[in-house]
Structure 1
Amino acid sequence: MHQGAQCIGENDSLRTAAQMMRDLSVGALPICGDDDRLKGIITDRDIVIKCCAEGKDLDSTTASELARGLVWVEADHSVEEALEKMEQHRIKRLPVIHNRRIVGMITEADLAKELPDSKLAEFVHRIYARA
């Protein structure tokens, strides 16, 4: 898990999201509301496909307009439970929550570093097999 995931505010623009992704060298950001609660996640691909390719304005379109999937894992859950959620929802990034606040993000890169090759291969097959 990458600890200390930074959120994009639900009312922030997609330009701000893209700049944050660039500055943080990440491909996804959790979207948090004014209540500091997770509202969804946005990826660099979402910005390109759902905003740029559709001719929408990066400065007036907000992160919440592209928010998708509210799937997460509790910080005290096992790696197996996190993998199961990622496989079930066919997602490559999973926010980690503790005391109702985001504390990190699990990514494919994290899995590649931590999982045995056989388990990683199984995960990759399940995520991409139906793509």
Structure 2
Amino acid sequence: MTTSGVGKTVKDVMHEGAECIGERDSLRTATQMMRDLSVGALPICGEDDRLKGILTDRDIVVKCCAEGKDLDNTTAGEFARGLVWVEASNTVEDALQKMEQHQIKRLPVIDQHRIVGMISEADLAKELPDSKLAEFVHRVYASA
């Protein structure tokens, strides 16, 4: 680990080009997208191309499959609640604080009201010193 995250912006360390799942798309479509993109989370976007929420593989398993819901008849939009995001121009520290505060591992990145990427705990791991990373992991996973 390095301390190179200090002073960097979210845009410097995020994964660019996050692909959205439409809010009316089925969870089956979401699972196929996750498989094809090798990701564990998808931003949910509305018809206006605006971010509405985020859908994780865990959401699908715990809130759909385990509850006996049908993947073909449950939409991504049903999971579009509690939206948390960060501006691309914010610092890595700002993203870290939001992720800790909301106990989330992935955070959509917005620039000029549009999603431009995602920042994850793996992105932070490359930028933070070991002590800071350990603190982040403790805070995010504490109630898991």
Q: Which interval holds the TM-score relative to the shorter structure?
A: over 0.9
The TM-score normalised by the length of structure 2 is: 0.88
CA separation in 1, counterparts of 2:36 and 2:66? 23
CA separation in 1, counterparts of 2:83 and 2:42? 12
Q: Given the alignment, which residue of 67, 70, 81 partners 2:80? A: 67
**2:9 match:** none
The TM-score normalised by the length of structure 1 is: 0.96
Following superposition, the deviation at residue 16 of structure 1 comes to: 0.3
- Give yes or no for the alignment of 1:3 onto 2:31: no
Following superposition, the deviation at residue 20 of structure 1 comes to: 0.4
**2:45 match:** 32
- Give yes or no for the alignment of 1:92 onto 2:114: no
**Regions of 4+ moved over 2 Å:** none
CA separation in 1, counterparts of 2:24 and 2:81? 15
**Contact persistence 1:42–1:68 (CA under 8 A):** no
Following superposition, the deviation at residue 69 of structure 1 comes to: 2.2
- Give yes or no for the alignment of 1:55 onto 2:65: no
**1:111 match:** 124
Following superposition, the deviation at residue 66 of structure 1 comes to: 1.9
CA separation in 2, counterparts of 1:27 and 1:72? 17
CA separation in 2, counterparts of 1:130 and 1:55? 25
CA separation in 1, counterparts of 2:131 and 2:56? 27
What is the number of equivalent residue pairs in this alignment?
131
Following superposition, the deviation at residue 83 of structure 1 comes to: 0.6
Q: Identical aligned pairs, as a percentage?
A: 83
SS of structure 1 residue aligned to 2:126: helix
Structure 1 unpaired stretches of 5+: none
CA separation in 1, counterparts of 2:70 and 2:47? 23
SS of structure 2 residue aligned to 1:57: coil
- CA RMSD in angstroms comes to 0.9
**1:126 match:** 139
Q: Given the alignment, which residue of 22, 30, 33 partners 1:17? A: 30
Following superposition, the deviation at residue 116 of structure 1 comes to: 1.5
